[in-house]
Amino acid sequence: MTMTDASQATPDAEAVAAAKAVMAAHIAALNARDEKGLAATLHFPHHRLSGGRLKTWETADSYFADFLARAGDGWGHSVWDSLDVVAAGPDKVHLDVRFSRYDEAGKLMGRFRSLWAITKLDGRWGAQLRSSFAA
């Protein structure tokens, strides 16, 4: 007997739309330096795997400051280059994400790839965890 995860057959379109809306709100809040708006796109605890280390934010308190420290001096804004659905069920979407960071003058600082898990918890969609190759 072979078992197949339903998310592999046909991704849940409503969940995909919700996840992409979370990602759009996330990048808009990040670029606006809107800490409250950014936190609203995440579930806490929030987890990020990078460089072989798992970082967990129990609350939103230091999330944005930690991002600025990682992004480097002169960070101006970031853009999603692509958001590709890997799998999607009714309460979780896996996204293959490619993004770019630009400095304050609009010069490319770097392009990166990451995997994001966007989940619906207690009726609200948000990013719960990701694995990134970015600093």
- In this predicted structure, which of 10-19, 45-54, 66-75 has the lowest mean pLDDT? 66-75
Helix, strand, or coil here: 10? coil
CATH code of the domain covering residue 87 = 3.10.450.50
DSSP 33-92: T-HHHHHTTEEEEEEEEETTEEEEESSSTTHHHHHHHHH-TTEEEEEEEEEEEEEEETTE
Whether 3 shows a pLDDT value over 60: the answer reads no
Q: Which CB contacts under 8 angstroms, 24+ apart, belong to 2-5?
A: 5/87, 5/89
Examine residue 87 and state whether it is found in any structural domain, yes or no. Answer: yes
Residue type, 72: G
Examine residue 79 and state whether it is found in any structural domain, yes or no. Answer: yes
Averaged over 8-21, what is the pLDDT? Answer: 91
Total tally of structural domains belonging to the chain: 1
Domain range for 60 is 10-132
Q: pTM for this one?
A: 0.91
Residue type, 28: A
CA-to-CA distance for 118 and 14, rounded, in angstroms? 13
Examine residue 1 and state whether it is found in any structural domain, yes or no. Answer: no
CA-to-CA distance for 77 and 32, rounded, in angstroms? 9
Phi-psi region of 33 (alpha: psi -120 to 50; beta: other; left: phi over 0): left
Examine residue 4 and state whether it is found in any structural domain, yes or no. Answer: no
Query: What residue has token string 């630009």?
Result: 102
Q: Enter the tokens of residue 70.
A: 């990682």
Query: What residue has token string 């409503």?
Result: 14
Note the pLDDT tens digit of each residue in 112-127: 999 999 999 999 999 9
Examine residue 58 and state whether it is found in any structural domain, yes or no. Answer: yes
Examine residue 5 and state whether it is found in any structural domain, yes or no. Answer: no
Note the pLDDT tens digit of each residue in 60-103: 999 999 998 988 889 999 999 999 999 999 999 999 999 999 99
Examine residue 76 and state whether it is found in any structural domain, yes or no. Answer: yes
What pLDDT does 2 receive?
57
